[in-house]
Amino acid sequence: MIRSEVSFSARVEPGVEPVRSPVSDQPCAYWRLRIVERLTAGSQLVHEMASGQAFRLVWGARDRAPVRIRVEPDAARIQAPPVLHRPGSPGALAIARAFGFPGVLSVEEILVHSGDEIEAEGTLFDPRHEAGPFRTVEREPELCDATLTVASETIGQALLPWAVGTAAVVLGGIGLATWAVWHAHAHPDRDTHAVRAGHPPAYLERPSIPCPRLR
């Protein structure tokens, strides 16, 4: 059996058995929940649970057949953007009903969907290269001690629209102020009502600051 330390990009393919998120009932390849149950004003319980169904990473160049690599989630570190379901939200209430939690819950949900692009690294076991002419059971490659990271927006990408909007407001304000000063110097004898004549300056909305996705 060949063992190799590998690092590669791949696409997620779900396992044989269907997996659905207990929060949203969405089909997925993997889910993980961190449930915070508030008991009193000063005490809480934290529950963590995850799906155990194996899934596959599909890797391959364009000029060759793809290779499917098995991943056991119990032996992997899986990182993906979390979604927070606040107390009283449909997701939090669904978990309370499904698992019988009596307290007030907030739920952090991580999902890996079929087709997600993933950066993977770990130890690849490839039994296809085992010696022996009488081998009858075909086993697929498996990635062990794996670290999987789902591709997502960086914080810089998320803040870019807000930064552009802020810059537009600042530059627009500077432009209006410059025009007003020039107009006052060019027409010193006119009263302030003359400045207001004509088309009013465009209304500039304050930029909205992006917030984490809440449900």
pLDDT, tens digit (0-9, with 9 covering 90-100), for 55-102 = 999 998 666 788 999 999 999 999 999 999 999 999 999 999 999 998
Q: Are residues 14 and 65 in the same domain?
A: yes
Q: Are residues 86 and 45 in the same domain?
A: yes
Q: Are residues 148 and 158 in the same domain?
A: no
Q: Average the pLDDT over each of 20-24, 110-114, 128-132, 164-168 and give the range with the smallest value.
A: 164-168
* pLDDT tens digit sequence for 94-113: 999 999 998 899 999 999 99
Grade residue 143 by pLDDT with cuts at 50, 70 and 90: very high
Grade residue 155 by pLDDT with cuts at 50, 70 and 90: very low
Q: Are residues 25 and 98 in the same domain?
A: yes
The structural domain count of the chain equals 2
Q: Quick one: which H or E segment has residue 4?
A: strand 2-13
Q: Are residues 60 and 47 in the same domain?
A: yes
Alpha carbon separation from 37 to 100, 102, 185 (Å, rounded) = 11, 8, 66
Residue after which a domain boundary falls, among 133, 152, 171: 152
Residue after which a domain boundary falls, among 100, 118, 152: 152
Q: Strands of 25-74 (E only): list them.
A: 27-28, 30-40, 43-50, 55-59, 67-71
Q: Average the pLDDT over each of 99-113, 127-141, 161-175 and give the range with the smallest value.
A: 161-175
Q: Average the pLDDT over each of 8-22, 123-137, 201-215 and give the range with the smallest value.
A: 201-215
When comparing pLDDT for 110 and 139, which is higher?
110
User: What average pLDDT score do residues 40-50 get?
Assistant: 90
Q: Could you tell me the residue range of the domain that residue 58 belongs to? A: 2-152
Judge whether residue 162 has pLDDT over 90: no
Q: What is the predicted pLDDT for the residue at 180?
A: 58
Q: Are residues 145 and 168 in the same domain?
A: no
Residue after which a domain boundary falls, among 112, 134, 152: 152
Q: Are residues 93 and 183 in the same domain?
A: no
Q: What is the predicted pLDDT for the residue at 42?
A: 84
Q: Are residues 35 and 98 in the same domain?
A: yes
CA distance 215 to 203: 32
Judge whether residue 206 has pLDDT over 70: no
Question: Pairing between strand 142-150 and 76-79?
Answer: parallel
Q: Are residues 201 and 135 in the same domain?
A: no
Q: Are residues 192 and 142 in the same domain?
A: no
Q: Are residues 81 and 100 in the same domain?
A: yes
Q: What's this model's pTM, rounded to 2 decimal places?
A: 0.66
Q: What percent of the chain has pLDDT over 70?
A: 63
Q: What is the predicted pLDDT for the residue at 65?
A: 83
Q: How far apart are the first and last CA of the chain?
A: 47
Q: Are residues 147 and 160 in the same domain?
A: no
